[in-house]
Amino acid sequence: MAAPVVTSERALHAGWRLAVFVVALLAGWMAADAFVYPLLNLASAVRGAPITAFPWVALIAALSAHAVLLEWVAPASWQTAAFGRSAWRVSSLGAGALTGLALVVVTVSGGIAIGHFAFERVSGTTAEWWSVAARLFWLLAPAALWEELVFRGYLLSVTRELIGARGALLATSVAFAVVHADNPGAGPLPLLVVAAAGMALGAIRLRYDSVPAAWLAHFAWNWLLAAALHADVSGLAFGTPLWALVERGPDWLTGGTWGPEGGAYALVAFGAVAAWAWRGAARTHASTSGPAAALAA
């Protein structure tokens, strides 16, 4: 039987809100494409160097889709999507950032100790390092935020209404992996790790009722790998002035061309947090009304 459009509480059914969110996201993406790219192309011409636009276009689309749902279609607090004022508590943001840092340390340090990762000296200057670090901040901060807003924001909340916390974590994590399937070096193991990462980030989002906390964990992971360790991230290579993290072990452990987040070391790190999420998700509320219940430790 088809789901009713409006529930007995005169609210739009969760399934329909999910459909509207997807449509609003795609429409926002097309609109942002039409306006942002011409402006950034002009700015690139003035600057004399290309400016990466994609993550900003995606972020505008994600924010606009949330605004359409929360301000117009089904008016509600932005905390419904874990993006309201309370989601920006310093304690939550710090916990998210420290979790991202810890995941990098756990993933890489064991491989370094065994000899599966190593640092190699390469050419470059300190000025070049700062330039690359700043460019990566511009690129990776909005990239992590749009992905968290889309997969751990309203989409996770409304999917949880439909199929419960565990089902929502699994469904959004699989979708998170699917959007990375076109990245260079993608394969079954890297995409499995990405899905586990989605579960871990979902755990952070639910534990602190905060998309920003999950965003900082995501951003810390990506930026530390790319800018501090100079490793590939999700199959993408970035500048590596002064040093580079290289893989000397088997690809299934180190991730190969995908980077450290595509191997068994990362799978263990993310998998541990994902297992915690799966265990605790049974005790979260299925409804998005009010703050999400904390995941049990």
Tens digit of each residue's pLDDT (9 = 90 or more) over 111-169 = 999 999 999 999 999 999 999 999 999 999 999 999 999 999 999 999 999 999 899 99
Q: Say yes or no to pLDDT of 254 above 60.
A: yes
Q: Could you tell me if 54 and 125 lie in one domain? A: no
Q: Say yes or no to pLDDT of 200 above 50.
A: yes
Q: Could you tell me if 28 and 167 lie in one domain? A: no
239: closest CA among 85, 136, 139?
136
- ∠ CA 190-268-243, nearest 5°, is 70
Q: Could you tell me if 272 and 127 lie in one domain? A: yes
Across 50-54, 86-90, 182-186, the highest mean pLDDT is recorded for 86-90
Domain count, the chain: 2
- ∠ CA 187-191-193, nearest 5°, is 125
**Confidence label for 239 from pLDDT (cuts 50, 70 and 90):** confident
Inside any domain, residue 286: no
Q: In whole numbers, what is the pLDDT of the chain averaged over residues?
A: 88
Q: Could you tell me if 39 and 100 lie in one domain? A: no
Using the 3D structure, point to which of 75, 96, 117 is the last residue of a domain.
75
Q: Could you tell me if 170 and 47 lie in one domain? A: no
**Confidence label for 275 from pLDDT (cuts 50, 70 and 90):** confident
Q: Say yes or no to pLDDT of 289 above 70.
A: no
Given a contact cutoff of 8 angstroms between Cβ atoms, the answer to whether 151 and 198 are in contact is yes
Q: Could you tell me if 70 and 180 lie in one domain? A: no
Q: Could you tell me if 28 and 137 lie in one domain? A: no
Inside any domain, residue 289: no
Reading the block at residue 195, the tokens are 């899905």
Q: Could you tell me if 97 and 178 lie in one domain? A: yes
SS3 (DSSP) at 149:
helix
The pTM of the full predicted model, rounded to 2 decimals, is 0.89
Per mean pLDDT, which range of 94-103, 240-249, 274-283 is the poorest? Answer: 274-283
Query: Which residues are CB-neighbours of 16 under 8 A, at least 6 positions away?
Result: 3, 5
Q: In the Cβ-directed half-sphere of 80, how many Cα atoms lie within 13 Å?
A: 20
Inside any domain, residue 81: no
Inside any domain, residue 258: yes
Q: Could you tell me if 97 and 224 lie in one domain? A: yes
Q: Could you tell me if 62 and 95 lie in one domain? A: no
Q: Could you tell me if 199 and 71 lie in one domain? A: no
Range of the domain at 216: 86-281
Check residue 292 and give its pLDDT.
37
